[in-house]
């Protein structure tokens, strides 16, 4: 993939904080950051991890060029010592991450970064940018693929994507989510994801007649002939002309027609009529492709109505995740090292969902040995081990009386090492392998989690040790705030009751 210098693709406050860390002597203080998300898009049952390969590329190439240094000097808010530090910058963090294609859930660490505070803080923007975008599109794509019930889904959204990266990395993420190919040619070259496509309405309009347009196309591509039949009238013109050209050009050349595409009109009604006429003409193997602003809900409705569609081309509503175009991942400080000890840190908020889980943590997935299905995820402190040979009690982090003992299970750590002291120790799989891995992992989820409306809520629990550490910090800050309120003198405008 492309290797532009994206070092300054960062929120400006990352640089002002970095300068401050440097000036106050805490730039090298060892810290832990977690990247996680709070809510599954569209109230779905799960999301899909994607974008890690681009994170790795970014971290491998992270450096400040002389051009970068001169630009920052021109801002007149950074010390010369800090700029010299950046000139000699070398990434030195440890990074763990959940592999791409894994089903993921709120609040569990997707990426954990350990290292010097200046470095671990600085990379926030690019980590979030890549994981938020691709995880969003992979999740949306998988919803659409599941709605298609085994029919092929092609990603057709390049022209509606938000810029070049939105098209390229969106197509990659859509493939991870289960699409069979993309309309974006450069993605085929870069990722070996099949580029697919036939003709636009302009091809049909360019020739003097629809029949001539179809004939020329069939003569050019007799072995892969798919004709767009809705330029003028699907049933009165497009389909009869397509059948004529299949009989006069494609079959005599020794091939079978691949398909017809419908891009407008009442697709459910038209597809049923088209299927009947194709079958009567001796082409039961000719596919019917539907496109035109589709998403999982429209596809589901079409199939419920008996639409005779063999594959779908999905564009703008996939590549932009139109129905909920924000993933909402965040990057928060979780711990610092002081005198060799890991000291947990917590962010507290009036919004309960924004309270973070403190400490250096590990997420585990528990699977039933009997069914192979995922039972629950458990977030533990990094020094904890889940013993598969003993029953393990899980409990709801908020409603702690809700408890369950799990046995006959095996446990898998979700994160794997990516960087050790700044050196990459992970080899990214091909996107084809990621897609297959994604398919396998989704198969471990219960069918009830795959519903679009009111899916079963998967358990994401905390170990008792982590829960107690979090509870201790919450109580500590509550006591501190209470003491401050008790000693504060009321103003003359306040009433003492």
Q: Name the pLDDT band for 134 (thresholds 50, 70, 90).
A: very high
Is the pLDDT at 485 greater than 70? The verdict is: no
Q: How far apart are CA 279 and CA 260, in angstroms?
A: 13
pLDDT at 82: 98
Q: Residue 227: which of 219, 284, 459 has the closest Cα?
A: 219
pLDDT at 479: 80
Count of all residues that appear for the chain in the document: 497
Q: Give mean pLDDT, residues 129-138.
A: 98
| Cβ–Cβ under 8 Å, residues 420 and 381 | no
Worst-scoring range by mean pLDDT, 184-188, 298-302, 487-491?
A: 487-491
pLDDT, one tens digit per residue, over 409-447 is: 999 999 999 999 999 999 999 999 999 999 999 999 999
Task: Give me the residue spans of the domains in the chain.
Answer: 1-197+294-497, 201-292
Phi, psi dihedral angles at 397 (to 5 degrees): -65, -25
Instruction: List Cα–Cα distances, 341 to 19, 172, 187, 347, in angstroms.
Output: 26, 41, 46, 20
Strand, coil or helix: 75 = coil
Q: How far apart are CA 282 and CA 259, in angstroms?
A: 13
CA atoms within 13 A on the CB side of 223: 0
pLDDT at 1: 46
| Cβ–Cβ under 8 Å, residues 357 and 348 | no
Q: Give mean pLDDT, residues 267-272.
A: 98
pLDDT, one tens digit per residue, over 374-383 is: 999 999 999 9
CATH fit for domain 201-292, picks 3.40.50.510, 3.20.20.70, 3.10.20.30, 3.40.50.300: 3.20.20.70
What average pLDDT does the structure give for the chain?
A: 95
pLDDT at 497: 32
Q: Residue 213: which of 255, 221, 283 has the closest Cα?
A: 221
Q: Residue 64: which of 34, 87, 46 has the closest Cα?
A: 87
Is the pLDDT at 450 greater than 60? The verdict is: yes
Q: How far apart are CA 477 and CA 475, in angstroms?
A: 6
Q: Name the pLDDT band for 480 (thresholds 50, 70, 90).
A: confident
Worst-scoring range by mean pLDDT, 243-257, 352-366, 374-388, 475-489?
A: 475-489
pLDDT at 493: 46
Q: Domain spanning 1-197+294-497 has what CATH number?
A: 3.20.140.10
Determine what percent of the chain is predicted with pLDDT higher than 70: 96
Q: Give mean pLDDT, residues 102-116.
A: 98
Q: Name the pLDDT band for 295 (thresholds 50, 70, 90).
A: very high
Q: How far apart are CA 353 and CA 333, in angstroms?
A: 16
Determine what percent of the chain is predicted with pLDDT higher than 90: 93
- pTM for the full model? 0.94
DSSP codes, 386-438: --TTS-EEEE-SSSTT-EEEE-SEEEEES-EEEEETTEE--PPPPHHHHHHHH
């Amino acid at each position: 993939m492309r290797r532009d210098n994206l070092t300054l693709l960062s929120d400006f406050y990352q640089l002002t904080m970095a300068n401050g860390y440097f000036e106050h002597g805490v730039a090298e203080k060892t810290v832990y950051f977690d990247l996680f998300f709070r809510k599954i898009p569209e109230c779905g049952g799960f999301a899909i991890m994607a974008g890690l390969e681009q994170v790795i590329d970014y971290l491998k190439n992270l450096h400040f060029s002389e051009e970068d240094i001169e630009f920052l000097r021109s801002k007149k808010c950074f010390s010369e010592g800090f700029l010299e530090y950046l000139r000699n910058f070398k990434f030195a963090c440890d990074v763990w991450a959940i592999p791409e294609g894994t089903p993921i859930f709120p609040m569990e660490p997707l990426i954990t970064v350990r290292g010097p505070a200046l470095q671990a803080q600085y990379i926030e923007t690019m980590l979030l940018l890549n994981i938020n975008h691709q995880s969003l599109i992979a999740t949306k794509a998988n919803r659409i693929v599941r709605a298609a019930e085994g029919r092929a889904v092609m990603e057709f959204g390049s022209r509606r994507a938000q810029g070049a990266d939105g098209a390229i990395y969106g197509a990659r993420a859509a493939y991870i989510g289960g699409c069979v190919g993309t309309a974006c040619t450069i993605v085929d070259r870069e990722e070996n994801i099949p580029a697919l496509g036939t003709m636009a309405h302009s091809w049909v309009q360019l020739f003097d007649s629809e029949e001539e347009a179809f004939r020329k196309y069939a003569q050019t591509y007799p072995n892969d002939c798919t004709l767009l039949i809705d330029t003028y009238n699907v049933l009165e013109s497009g389909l009869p002309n397509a059948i004529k050209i299949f009989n006069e050009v494609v079959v005599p050349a020794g091939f079978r027609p691949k398909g017809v595409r419908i891009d407008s009109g009442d697709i459910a009604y038209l597809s049923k009529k088209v299927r009947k006429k194709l079958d009567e003409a001796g082409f039961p193997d000719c596919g019917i492709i539907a496109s035109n602003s589709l998403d999982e809900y429209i596809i589901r409705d079409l199939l419920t109505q008996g639409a005779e569609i063999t594959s779908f081309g999905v564009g703008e509503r996939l590549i932009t995740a139109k129905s909920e175009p924000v993933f909402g991942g965040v990057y928060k400080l979780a711990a610092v090292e002081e005198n060799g000890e890991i000291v947990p840190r917590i962010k507290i908020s009036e919004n309960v969902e924004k309270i973070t889980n403190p400490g250096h943590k590990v997420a585990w997935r528990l699977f039933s040995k009997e069914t192979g299905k995922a039972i629950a995820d458990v977030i533990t402190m990094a020094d904890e081990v889940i013993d598969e040979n003993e029953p393990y009690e899980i409990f709801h982090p908020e409603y702690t009386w809700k408890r369950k003992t799990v046995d006959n299970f095996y446990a898998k750590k979700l994160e794997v090492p990516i960087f050790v002291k700044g050196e990459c120790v992970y080899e990214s799989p091909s996107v084809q392998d990621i897609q297959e891995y994604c398919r396998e992992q989704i198969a471990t989820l219960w069918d009830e989690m795959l519903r679009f409306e009111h899916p079963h809520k998967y358990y994401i629990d905390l170990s008792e040790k982590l829960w107690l550490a979090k509870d201790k910090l919450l109580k500590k800050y509550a006591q501190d705030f209470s003491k401050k309120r008790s000693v504060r003198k009321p103003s003359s405008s306040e009433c003492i009751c």
